[in-house]
Amino acid sequence: MIYEVTLAEKVYRVELTQAGDRWKCMLDGRELPVDVTYGQNGVLSLLLDGKSYEVKQEIVGTETNVVVGHERFAASVRDPRSFRSRSRAGAGEQGVMKIKAPMPV
């Protein structure tokens, strides 16, 4: 799965691959060794480079934040393959278009 993740107005390309019960993470093209444990109430415990982080999602109105420890970051995740993501990607795009062609007889 490939995602475009925006944190504090900076865009990252995140590729996640599951191998059994473990995950492989590529961040902007480089491998990032990470160990993830799911906790209660959607809280994740991440072990990254020997340091432990508690990460949770916070939704307030229409805004989504990621809270790491005591720091809060504005966040959004976009799956480039999804129609909803593509339709929000650019103002010049037209979204769904119908193809009108006569059926051959």
What is the C-alpha to C-alpha distance for residues 74 and 1, in angstroms, rounded to an integer?
A: 22
- Measured in degrees and rounded to the nearest 5, phi and psi for residue 35 equal -120, 130
pLDDT given at position 104 = 59
Instruction: Give the model confidence (pLDDT) of 65-104 as tens digits.
Output: 889 988 998 988 888 777 554 455 454 455 555 555 555 5
pLDDT given at position 102 = 59
Residue 13 pLDDT > 70 = yes
